[in-house]
Chain A
Amino acid sequence: MSTAVIVFPASNCDRDAAVALEKVTGKPPRMVWHKDTSIPDDVRFVVVPGGFSYGDYLRSGAIAANSPVIRDLKDKSEAGLPVLGICNGFQILTEAGMLPGALMRNANQKFVCRISRLRLANAKTRFTSQYDAKHEIDVPVAHHDGNYFADDETLRRIEGGGQVVFRYSENPNGSRNDIAGIVNASGNVLGMMPHPERAVDTVHGGTDGITLFKSIVGSL
């Protein structure tokens, strides 16, 4: 069994994601180049990492969402392959239509990097099953376009379906309903703005992110 991290031009959290995956699985993930047309068959879990794919030109994640590898990822995720999109990865997944809604410029127009406290809105997903539902977790955010938007109807649908997974205790970017992370309707694709891979080691000042990787890897 393998895991994989997708690498776009100007991905910059690809190594961080790989380190976190190796920590949890004991095996370095496959690094899949954006021009590859398919994800290797033995891959059981894929991380679309943070960064500024294509410089975030046009819209964050828009150009990456059109790459060959994302087309393949979309097909495989529809067949059940678990996918985690972090930060720019979340933006890419919404742009690719793999998750509902869109990520707009932060309400105050500024990049924000801080430790954000998150509430678990759904601790029963494959990505959160090992968290204590009552606990809040500390995970860093670092983004310019993390302001989650979905129209009223979509919002009602994802709230009603338990698709909201993380909420900010203190909203850093203007996201509707304080949404920090969501899953798709089948629960195998998670997108989140905070960076769990930056909270997996005591030197990071906290390890609340590791449980997410443990949960999903444990479910494979």
Chain B
Amino acid sequence: MARKKKSEITPEIVAEHGLSEDEYAIVLDRLGREPNLTELGIFSVMWSEHCSYKSSRRHLGKFLTTSDRVIQGPGENAGVIDIDDGDAIVFKMESHNHPSFIEPYQGAATGVGGIMRDVFTMGARPIALMNALRFGEPGHPKTKALVSGVVAGIGGYGNCVGVPTVGGETNFHPGYNGNILVNAMCVGLARTDNVFYSAAKGVGNPIFYVGSKTGRDGIHGATMASAEFDDDSEEKRPTVQVGDPFTEKLLIEACLELMATDAIIAIQDMGAAGLTSSSIEMADKGGVGIALNLDKVPQRETGMSAYEMMLSESQERMLMVIQPGKEKLAFQVFEKWELDVAEIGTTTDTGRLVLTHKRKTVCDIPIAPLADDAPNYDRPHEPTAPREILKPDEVDEPADYNDALIQVMTDPDMASKRWIWEQYDRHVMADTVDSSQSGGDAAIVRIHGPDGPTDKAVAITTDCTPRYCYADPVQGGRQAVAESWRNLTCVGANPVAITDCLNFGNPERSEIMGQFVGCIEGMNEACRAFDYPVVSGNVSLYNETNGVAIPPTPAVGGVGLIPDLTLVQSLGGARPGDTLILIGATEGWLGSSIFLRALQNREDGAPPPVDLQAERHNGDYVRKLIRNRRVRAVHDLSDGGLAAAACEMAFASGIGMELINPSELPAHAWYFGEDQARYLISTDGNSVNPILTTADGLGVPAMIVGKAGGTRLKAKGAFDVSLDGLRGRWEQWMPELMSGATETV
């Protein structure tokens, strides 16, 4: 390789590439010489936070990642679980926060495209999408445009590809004003004996490039996702990636078609840091070297340099190692689907990444240090100071409970998100059993095997309560996992495993790192208590603007198995005359509650503690009741407590509810407290006694809290409003926000 002048790589260039002096010293040491610009670029993206997980790696290692259903845990493109009969579910969640803030439509769309590629890369057909969104306060000048762009982008991509977007969650909080979160999850279906991995094997095997041509899109996207925003970053926009769902659809069909043969040895999508990270990850995992001829890379623009090609983040591209002798077949399949395809290199035994461009060697570096010797920091972490516990009598009761109920149900986090999910095709593929439209706890998608629809289904949910995580990361981490487990339970599923998307601020600040470590600790405790492992995930750090970090937001995506579709449960089945039973204990926990925020504009107080034993106990009991067909409607209690759960059940069932307060607690604590491990169930008269008696025997707290019927939502000693009236307010909040007709609540 041509020796470059010593001056080519100045300290400024190193700094622009986001490498610290220490990190650059390691580069020099491992190479034994100065890198050229292409090589520096490769090190910089591989060692970015986004690709190397340098601040988070050691902590992620603590997660429970195995169970008898886990086929593949973290470390591949997506996690894989066994759901019997030779079927496997492949799933993962990923963030596209920074790109979506800069260009909401394309940012969100390409986020969906990226997560789908992670899933079909493993040999799975994507069958469901979920989205977990966090926006700034509703009245913030940017919020409306961000909401409409992000939602249109998610729909625009998923709808076009033809994968149903079946559920999600949406929060609004000033903590996201300068840094929204767009987390997308994809669930796919594969056969256990036909899962594909990314480890390149063998020497001399052809490497294929498939998909769209490479352009100068998103160069430095990976480093952008790893740097804080400041007000200038809207000016210094790098080229934004544009998604092409049409090509993605073709890519899915083509890859699945080729995967049905034995032509593919290894496959990896080109995500962040495109060709660089895909080739290096494949080589590193397989312990081989890679030689690529960049002249063969399909290019959309003229005059692209090696640096640009290696760092481009053009979408809808895949890299694969093909079985020698199967090249023709591969070309045939990809050409049938009219995709760009090229053989661009081979695997080697050198352990090095060697790139040639215009007959010159433009990069020759050892692969091991790029992956294995990537920095791995133990950043200082300061635990979040515990907050004071707020007792019910330290919180003022509302003067008007009708108004209180309306305020709670039209809180931005509580109000109906119909405006969002009506823009998502929830039914395409014709296997959606339940989705956002029921307001249910988890979406349900039937397993459609090679021989047609089966009686099995998967349940899917995403959950996180950032205000709890902010108040107490450990409890918040537990709660996020526990709520996902509860939500799967509520629809009659056996919770199996989770994926996560850990969104935090700048890890170089010890209090942020403390939030990160605390949330992981809490999540992991819950995973272990429920035998509910983490099989995939994603970390997004540096989510802050001008030094203000987002609330810690470890979004959890849970997947459960419903072995028999006739045992599917919903919250919409309550009938007039049913008895309402509350499962779980109530202390009236108002700290960090929606009630406190919606009525008193306060976010203080310790969040509800999560008793993992009680969660498991109560949840297992509820699931048993569902299996024994003892219940007509089930909903877990979360934001807004008993009152909110009853309203949501009433909306879904289309009948009123009448609640009582059999406790000693003041009405606000009883109706709006957010104690965990609780469920509201609606059941017919005959089942009431058996349910209560069995619960008593098992030590599961259970009591009658009201009955279903009528056209009003009533609570003794508190509110009495018409069902339709409240539903109207609840439904109208978001359309009014988006039409600009009203200000924030």
| A positions within 8 Å CB-CB of B | 9-13, 15-16, 19-20, 22, 50-52, 54-57, 110-115, 140, 142, 144, 195, 197-198, 200-201, 203-204
Contact = CB atoms under 8 A, between A and B. Distances in A.
Contact of A9 (B155, B338, B424): B338
B576 interface: no
Interface string B112-155: 00000000000000000000000000000000000000001001
A154 to B, nearest CB: 29
A137 to B, nearest CB: 16
Contacts of B161: 10, 12, 52
Given A9-B246, A111-B155, 19 more contacts: A9-B250, A9-B338, A10-B161, A10-B245, A12-B160, A12-B162, A12-B249, A50-B428, A52-B162, A52-B245, A110-B152, A111-B152, A111-B156, A111-B425, A113-B422, A113-B424, A113-B426, A142-B159, A142-B425
A198 B428 CA distance: 8
Contacts of A112: 422-423
SS of A interface (majority): mixed
Given A10-B249, A56-B160, A113 B429 contact: no
B249 A113 contact: no
B457 to A, nearest CB: 8
B244 interface: yes
Contacts of A57: 246
A19 B430 contact: yes
A204 B422 contact: no
Contact of B428 (A9, A20, A54, A142): A142
Contacts of A195: 427
24 contacts: A9-B249, A9-B250, A10-B162, A10-B249, A12-B160, A12-B428, A16-B428, A19-B452, A20-B430, A50-B428, A52-B160, A52-B161, A55-B244, A55-B246, A110-B152, A111-B159, A111-B423, A111-B424, A111-B425, A142-B159, A142-B428, A198-B427, A200-B430, A204-B427
A141 to B, nearest CB: 10
Interface in B464-518: none
A203 B425 CA distance: 17
A203 B422 CA distance: 20
A57 B242 CA distance: 14
Q: Which of B245, B430, B452 has the most CB of A within 10 A?
A: B430
Contacts of A52: 159-162, 245-246, 249
B337 A9 contact: yes
Q: Which of B249, B426, B437 has the most CB of A within 10 A?
A: B249
Interface in B660-690: none
Interface of B: 152, 155-156, 159-162, 244-247, 249-250, 337-338, 421-433, 437, 446, 452-453, 565
B245 A203 contact: no
Nearest to A195: B427
Contacts of B249: 9-10, 12, 52
Contact of A10 (B156, B250, B433): B250
Nearest to B432: A204
A113 B338 CA distance: 30
B425 A113 contact: yes
A13 B163 CA distance: 10
A50 B160 CA distance: 10
Contacts of B431: 203
Nearest to B419: A110
Given A110-B423, A111-B155, A111-B159, A15 B429 contact: yes
A6 to B, nearest CB: 15
Contacts of A142: 159, 425-428
Nearest to B426: A113
Contacts of B424: 111, 113
Nearest to B428: A12
A21 B77 CA distance: 36
B160 A203 contact: no
Q: Which of B156, B337, B428 has the most CB of A within 10 A?
A: B428
Contacts of A200: 430
Contacts of A9: 246, 249-250, 337-338
Contacts of A201: 430, 453
Nearest to B425: A142
A13 B423 CA distance: 18
Given A201-B430, A203-B565, A55 B453 contact: no
Contacts of B422: 110, 112-114
Given A110-B423, A114-B422, A198 B430 contact: yes
A13 B424 CA distance: 15
Contact of B160 (A55, A113, A115): A55
Q: Which of A111, A200, A203 has the most CB of B within 10 A?
A: A203
A50 B162 CA distance: 9
A15 to B, nearest CB: 7
Contacts of A113: 159, 421-427
Given A9-B250, A52-B245, A54-B246, A16 B430 contact: yes
Contacts of B428: 12-13, 16, 50, 142, 198
A124 B426 CA distance: 32
Nearest to B455: A203
A113 B423 CA distance: 6
A52 B453 CA distance: 24
Nearest to B431: A203
A201 B454 CA distance: 12
Given A10-B250, A19-B452, A203 B446 contact: yes
B165 to A, nearest CB: 9
A55 B162 contact: no
A204 B452 CA distance: 15
A38 B445 CA distance: 36
Contacts of B452: 19, 22
Nearest to B161: A12
Contacts of A111: 152, 155-156, 159, 423-425
B426 to A, nearest CB: 6
